[in-house]
Structure formats: structure tokens, C-alpha cells
Amino acid sequence: MATASYGYYRGTIFLAMFVGYTLYYFNRKTFSFVMPSVMQEITLDKDDLGMITSSQSLAYAISKFISGVLSDQVSARWLFSIGLFMVGGINVVFSWSSTVAVFSALWFLNGLGQGLGWPPCGRVLRKWFEPSQFGTWWAILSCSMNLAGSLGPIIATVLAESYSWRTILLVSGMICMAVSFVCLLVIKNEPKDVGLPNVEAAAKKSKGGKSSSDESTLSEFLLSPYLWLLSVSYLVVFGVKTACTDWGQLFLIQDKGQSTLMGSSYMSALEVGGLLGSLAAGYFSDKAVAKQGMRIYGNPRHFILIIMMAGMFASMYLFRVTVSADSPKVWILTLGAVFGFSSYGPIALFGVIANESAPSNYCGTSHAIVALMANIGGFLSGFPFSTIAKHHGWEMAFWVAEMICGITAVGFFLLRNVRTKMGHVSRKAD
């Protein structure tokens, strides 16, 4: 009976978080999805567009860091639901606005609301699922972003033929607000809230109750080189991925002579590839951990990370060099799918590795730090990236992102066998 109860609650809670975070992501990217339609109505140059997107990325970085550190002290279901309601409401107000200043201010607030979404998800997953399943379910939940990203551009483009961009943002915002109430009712913070044994407690008992030996001081944790290797790598991967999702459509249309529909299709292919990449990264890295076990030096998940980062570099190079106005549509979509597969896989894994490599008393802080660095990368992909494009063209901007990605992949390969166990390690274990 207990197993059946766990299955029921795990299923309903996971479904609520998946649908909720799909709406989080869709309403994070609504401006990017309808950008061509907005530019037809309102005069916006590349600096204006960069300012709007960067304002959101900056707020998202701040909010996600704070909510990550405090996630153990705040009700996950309330945090998740409040953020979803806030994001929906801001999209509604955005649909009533017309100036760059208001757009930037509202998208900054949208970013603050967006930061409340993922940390509660990570906390609920840890509470409800076994440690051996954590990576796989984390990857599956992260696919909600790919679902929204793949369907979003197509839905927005199709709806834009019959409705204004304002109507699209208004309706998506109202749906978001309605679903936030459903999430508040369905999501449960942990098994004991519904009278079931705590999963983490059972796992600790099976290990002999020695969880305290995994704890470290804050200074020992922050001085771990691996924490910062993960952070810098995540910054680059997330920044490059964000640049391609935010600006890839305009690059195809303005520089490569492709249609608006082709630009939307490219973004959708990227997200579909990303969905498969997230699942593959979670599943196969869990297999690698099960086979090799966790070590103090090196991590079984590194092999997949390095392969995928190399795939990002290769697909960006081919996209920049080979695509033209006469390129076959299948080739363009294939490059988009390969880039999505190669970029979303590492994004799914960085959070998992940050959690599992940290001391037990700093798991949330570890993820908050690497996520903060990732969102700094997202910020750099906005206004700074668009400034390079304004003065030197999209070709040069994407070349810079491509080079940074390649250098990071090589650096991570060279440092793949550093000590991956953060914080204090006993002399005997070392």
C-alpha cells in the first residue's frame, strides 16, 4: 500500500511540476517568440532588444541564487506557485505596454519570478525520489524547458497570423496564473506531509547513518577548485546556449536570408534535440555512475559532458560556415537539433553534479552558486552579445561564442581528473 501511495504522489506531483515549469519557461521566452511581430509594431534596434533580454537574465540570476540558498527554509510548493502566478501576471501587464523602458522593467520582474521556479523543483525531487533515480528524474523534468522551447516558436508564429502579439502574451499569462493554483493544491513538499516515511531518512539508514561525515565548513566548501570549474563551464555552456536560442532566429533571417518560419523551425528543432539530449545525459550518466561508482578524483559523468561540449562547438561552426540562403532546410534543422542535443545535456548534468559532489550540508548552496554563474552567462548573451552583433555583425558575434565554447571544452578535458569531492575529505579516503 505504501508503494502504491508513493507511486500516486510521485506521479501527480511530478506532473504538476512538469506542467508548471513548462509554463514557467514558455512565459520566460514569450518576448523572444513574438520578437518579429513586436518589431513590426514598435521600433526596436539591437541595443533595445539586448537591454530587454539582459534585464530578465540579470534578475533571474539574482532571484535563483537567493531562492536556491533559502530553498531548505521555505515551503517548496508555495515558492513554486507564487513564482508561477507572478510570471503570469507580468506577461499580462507586458501585453498592455509599448515602451522599451517599461518592457525592460517588466522583464526584470519576470526574471525575479522565474528564479522561484527551479530550486523548489530540485528540493521536491530530492525529497520524493531515491538518490539513485535523482539524475534521471532531474533530466526528465528539465525536458519541460525543451517542450516549451520547441512548441513555443511554432505556436507563437501560427497564432501571430490570426492574433496580435499582445493577445498571445495575455492568454499565456492568464493560463500561467490559473495553473499556479493547481500546483499549490497538488504539490507536496515531502512524503511526511501525507503520512509517508521520508525517502532521504530511509536512504541514510541504509548507509548506516553516517551522513554527518559528509559535512564540511563553508570555507572548505567554497575553496574547492571543482566548484569553480563547474561554475565557469556552466557559465559558458548556458551563455552560448542562450545566445543561440535568443538570437539564432534573427541570425538566420537577417544574415542567412532565411524566412521567419525557417527561423522558428530552427529554434523548435534545437529544443527537440535538447529534449533528447537532456534525457540521454541523465540516463547514460546514471548508468556510468552505477557501473563505475562515485570517486574522489574525476566523475563518471565527465565523459558525456566533454563529448557534448565538443558537439556544441562543432555544430556552431558548421551552422556559421555552411548555412546560406540556398541551404537545404533539412540541413539547417539537423544542425539545430544537434546543437540542442549537445547543449541541453550538459545543462541538465551541471546541476546534478553540483548537488552530488557537494557536502551534504551545502547541496542547495552548491547548486545556487553554479546556477548563478550560468545566469551571468545568460546575461552576457543579451546586451553584450547584441552589442558585438551591432558593431561587427552576427557572424562575428557567433564566432566569438563558438571560440569560447571550444576553449572551455578543451580546458574541461584537461582538468577532468581533478578532485571532484567538494569540501572536507578525510585523509584515509583521500
What pTM does this model have? 0.73
Residue 143: per-residue pLDDT: 80
The segments of the chain whose pLDDT lies below 50 read 1, 207, 209-212
DSSP 203-214: HHHHTTS-GGGG
* DSSP per-residue string spanning 381-430: TTHHHHHHHHHH-HHHHHHHHHHHHHHHHHHHHHTTTSB-S-S---TTT-
Interior angle at CA 382, CA 376 and CA 384, nearest 5: 90
For the residues of 160-199, what is the DSSP string, one character each?
Answer: HTTS-HHHHHHHHHHHHHHHHHHHHHH--SSGGGGT---H
Note the helical H segments in 29-133: 30-33, 35-41, 46-70, 76-94, 100-114, 118-128
Q: Evaluate whether 71 touches 125 at the Cβ level (below 8 Å).
A: no
| pLDDT given at position 24 | 93
Cell numbers that stand for 284 in this block: 547514460
Chain-centre distance of CA 235, in angstroms?
A: 11
Helix 118-128 × helix 329-357 angle, to 10°: 60
Question: Which pLDDT score is estimated for 205?
Answer: 52
Instruction: Give dist(CA 330, CA 365) in Å, integer.
Output: 43
Give the Cα separation of 266 and 290 in Å (integer). 36
CA–CA separation, 44 and 67 (whole Å): 33
Give per-residue pLDDT as tens, 394-430: 778 888 888 998 999 999 888 878 877 776 665 555 5
Residue with cell 556559421: 320
Q: Which amino acid is at 167?
A: T
In tens, the pLDDT along 188-207 reads: 988 888 888 877 555 555 54
For residue 367, what pLDDT is reported?
82
Backbone φ and ψ for 58, nearest 5 degrees, come out as -65, -50
CA 395 distance to own-chain centroid: 25
Residue 212: the pLDDT is 45
Cell numbers for 212, please give them. 554527518
For residue 201, the model assigns a pLDDT of 55
How far is 274 from 18, CA to CA, in rounded Å?
Answer: 16
How big is the CA angle at 104 (ends 99 and 106), to the nearest 5 degrees? Answer: 95
At 219 the pLDDT is 77
